[in-house]
Chain A
Amino acid sequence: MAAATTPETVELTDHDRAMLAGDCGEAAAVAMRILITMAGVYGAERLLDIEGAHIDGCLYHGDSGVDFAELLVAGGARVNVPTTLNVGGLDLLHPEEFAGTAERRAKALRLMECYEEMGCRTIWTCAPYQTTPRPAFGQQVAWAESNAIVFANSVLGARTHRYGDFIDICAAITGRAPAVGLHLEKNRRGQVVFDFRGLPRSLTSATWLLPAIGYLVGERCGSRVPVLLGLTDADEDGLKALGAAAASSGAVALFHAVGLTPEAPTLEAALGGGEAEEWIEVTVDDLRAGLDSLSTVAAAQEGAGPECEADVRINVVALGSPHFSPREFAELLPLVERRPPASSVEFVVCTNRQALEWLEARGELEHLRGLGVRVVVDTCVVVAPILRTPAGGILMTNSGKFSHYAPGNVGFDVVFGSLSDCVDSAHAGRLRRDRELWP
């Protein structure tokens, strides 16, 4: 059992005490009280300075989130470090995309406004690491949003513990965070090795499989730090998809991919000079199981065979969790141009404003819309009522995170496939997959 400290034993600076006493406003005092309680939970001996924050609390889950933000705003809250915002509950640029009640919309909007009033940058994206500026290697930050946390730690080499709603804004207001977990060098070394070297290169270099790889890593390693050995070709979008899946199926907040991520130039470096607690040789069967975990439709799982697949009707194709990047749009555009979605299929891509501007500047936004593709910004289809198709149908995606959360959050069965399989299936209105690519 972890040895937690109590709030009374957390070492505070004079400035921490001043904030706690209300000298910097009532909101800073609330924030400091929560931080100190959490420092106790985490077993931290002290707090440390942070240089940036990313806030997840701006997404409407119910009135309690609004109550908390209003409490802070009323207490004069202002963020003390550069702070960005995660997705909100609605697309502010295209409010007509919201399919929920007027009451829910008003509350989701009020929540977003509260965080803006506290001085946060309104980038409204779950992929803040694909906008600029982004944290530097070694920089201490307090990030929320599981996929953003894993990317910041793993791919950027910034240092954040696994924060969530509420503590994120407490850290931003005070500029402080508990000195614990992944903030500290000693906790960043790899613990479990996933060895992919026994797999054919055609599989380890297939970017569409990275969510399945992430999913199986998350399932097997829980909250330990995994080391991925033998993946060679993943780019930033691939690592983002892998990390998002690993953070959905497990509590992964940092992974090391040897040769790809900055703290893992070698296996020895990834393990911090120590020994691996566990060594897992990943097999083709493991990959197949990972793929099966990403689909809830039996006819789309391994062993069902292509003849069963052809009977699976696809109602929705959803892409962009985490938010689609310009590079991903560049890959999508020629595919949907060749095979536009059937009118019976709702085709939605979630992205952020920077990528939207990239599309607009090239005249591609109108082009995509003309082909029947909806582009949604600021939010996402599994956190807000965006889909027009009634729940209960089948949603296809190339995202491990959508695949994990769509059944529970929006009531769809899911089928996972590559980007081109998603486009082909949307075109046919039925599941189409290129079996040649399958393990």
Chain B
Amino acid sequence: MRSLVLVAGNGAGSVLRLEDPLSFWGGVDPPTGRIIDRRHPNCGDSVSGRILVMPYGRGSSSSSSILLEGVRLGAAPAAIVLREVDGILALGAAVARELYEQSPPVVVLPPADWKAVPEGAEASVDVSGRLRIAG
């Protein structure tokens, strides 16, 4: 699948699908990547090392900090695959690239493709924004 690249990079891992938007701030624990927003259906899952497929972020603008902190601590998602452009998450990744010279790619898929990414599948995103699903 071809995506729109917000912040380019390479990442591989298993897919974690969030059908509901998630605020990283107040929603993700940076050292572990665990989802801690008790109102979120995926509360308790970990985003660390996953191909995180989510519609868009919501809520506080501090979410970019939480993503950046996740990169620093090695617990960030392997890639973030959005359905809508999200400047706040893209910014966290853009600053990570400036500061730590690494970041998860942040890409946007058209809604039909976004919907078709299967939960739990092994997947990868490359610098050109191509999303490959194993098997």
Residue numbers of A with Cβ under 8 A of B are 1-2, 4, 30, 33-34, 37-38, 40-43, 56-57, 59, 61-65, 67-68, 71, 144-146, 149, 161-167, 222-223, 247-251, 293, 296, 382, 404-405, 407-409
Contact = CB atoms under 8 A, between A and B. Distances in A.
A232 to B, nearest CB: 28
Interface of B: 4, 6-7, 21, 23, 25-27, 30, 36-39, 56-66, 68-69, 71-73, 84-85, 87-88, 90-92, 94-96, 98-100, 108-111
A144 B64 CA distance: 11
A2 B85 contact: yes
A146 B36 contact: no
Contacts of B84: 2, 223
19 contacts: A1-B4, A34-B95, A37-B7, A37-B94, A38-B91, A41-B94, A56-B62, A61-B25, A61-B69, A62-B68, A62-B72, A63-B69, A65-B65, A71-B99, A145-B60, A161-B87, A248-B23, A408-B37, A408-B38
A62 B65 contact: yes
B113 to A, nearest CB: 10
Contacts of A67: 72, 99
**Most A CB within 10 A of own CB, among B58, B60, B84, B94:** B60
B59 A146 contact: yes
A146 B24 CA distance: 13
A404 B66 CA distance: 17
A64 B94 contact: no
A59 B66 CA distance: 11
Given A2-B108, A164-B63, A247-B59, A38 B90 contact: yes
A62 B74 CA distance: 13
Contacts of B4: 1-2, 4
Contacts of B100: 64
Task: Summarize B's interface: helix, strand, loop or mixed.
Answer: mixed
Given A37-B7, A166-B91, A404 B59 contact: yes
Contacts, number: 146
Nearest to A181: B87
B39 A145 contact: no
A296 B38 contact: yes
Given A68-B99, A166-B64, A404 B58 contact: no
Nearest to A296: B38
B60 A146 contact: yes
Nearest to A407: B38
B99 to A, nearest CB: 6
Given A145-B60, A164-B91, A405-B60, 12 more contacts: A1-B111, A41-B85, A42-B85, A61-B69, A64-B69, A145-B61, A164-B88, A166-B65, A250-B59, A251-B59, A382-B26, A405-B26
Nearest to A410: B26
A56 B95 CA distance: 15
Nearest to A383: B62
- What are the nearest 6 A-B pairs in CB distance? A164-B61, A62-B69, A408-B26, A61-B65, A405-B26, A64-B72
Nearest to B36: A408
Contact of B64 (A146, A165, A409): A165
Contacts of B99: 64, 67-68, 71
B15 to A, nearest CB: 20
B95 A68 contact: yes
